[in-house]
Chains A and B, each alone.
Chain A
């Protein structure tokens, strides 16, 4: 049943949030530290284990696939609820600092990407996905 997939997803999500909050609490940071990543790891591991043992039915997987497919629509709703007026309210300082500092970080993407991967490996890996 599809709800099994949704429930598995919910279980992983909540466990990840809990772990992230614990880590945040332990590091004395307000909020959550890596909750989404922990949940994703759990889902990937669980997915592999269940596939190996034949527990994973196509219907169960469809329950997760639905939420996967809802990602872009949810992001559209998210951008429609951003506080975009705040971007202008900060004046020129906000725009100049935001654009320049972000642009610099973008320029670093190809440089840092070189760590741990030669050009050939990244190229071939992009074909697999």
Chain B
């Protein structure tokens, strides 16, 4: 057993390939035999991933030494590298056509998430301007939240809540996107670019679109990649100043 652990430990990335391969196989098998492919195999696989993440802590299942390679395989570097590769299947004409809508969706997405999130937090008792700003930024993504919170000097408890809000958002998008895709018209490149801009959170958009229709991934990822930057730009500056003027 010691020897087994030693071999896995020395080859953690390779073991991660095996683990993910098995998850994929089982998920597609379940999708075919139990749901008649009504629920995509990818959606089952991604949801299984989230469930596995509960076994660990901050880094999900990668906190379990045996599965440390999952952090490398599922890290930002590999994710972005493979996202860029999906551009091979993207159509430049579609991107150009949706350009304006995508740009507007980014601004609306950050604005709505911030003020809706902050207002709900306000209603739940977080009435301080710094708390409002940090909670609103958390509703953008779990990266924008802590960046904003530390920039304006918010308390660490509120910053922790803002991260939690961002994670809730990411999980909700991951599981919810394939379920609501039809209702919100998410079945074409144009809508996917708008979706990426309105939702933003990269991991959520990446996983949600993968579970819905992998062909839409490059379009959503294209706009979502600007979201964190715009959120981190606007929340601690313009939005914070607007709040100071209002509240």
Contacts and interface: CB of A to CB of B under 8 A. Distances in A.
Interface of A: 9-10, 12-13, 16-17, 20, 23-24, 27, 29-37, 39-41, 43-45, 47-48, 61, 64-65, 67-68, 70-110, 112-113, 115-117, 121-123, 125-126, 128-129
A112 B170 CA distance: 21
Q: Interface size bucket, B side?
A: 35 or more
A36 B225 contact: yes
B176 A106 contact: yes
B94 A125 contact: yes
B189 interface: yes
Contacts of B215: 129
Interface of B: 16, 20-21, 23-24, 42, 45-50, 52-54, 56-62, 67, 70-71, 73-75, 78-92, 94-95, 97-101, 104-105, 108-109, 112-113, 116-117, 120-121, 124, 126, 135, 138-139, 142-143, 147, 160-161, 163-174, 176, 180, 184-191, 194-195, 197-199, 203, 206-207, 210, 214-218, 221-223, 225-226, 228-229, 232-233
B85 A64 contact: yes
A98 B169 contact: yes
Given A71-B217, A101-B139, A85 B45 contact: no
B98 A126 contact: no
Q: Which of B24, B74, B92 has the most CB of A within 10 A?
A: B74
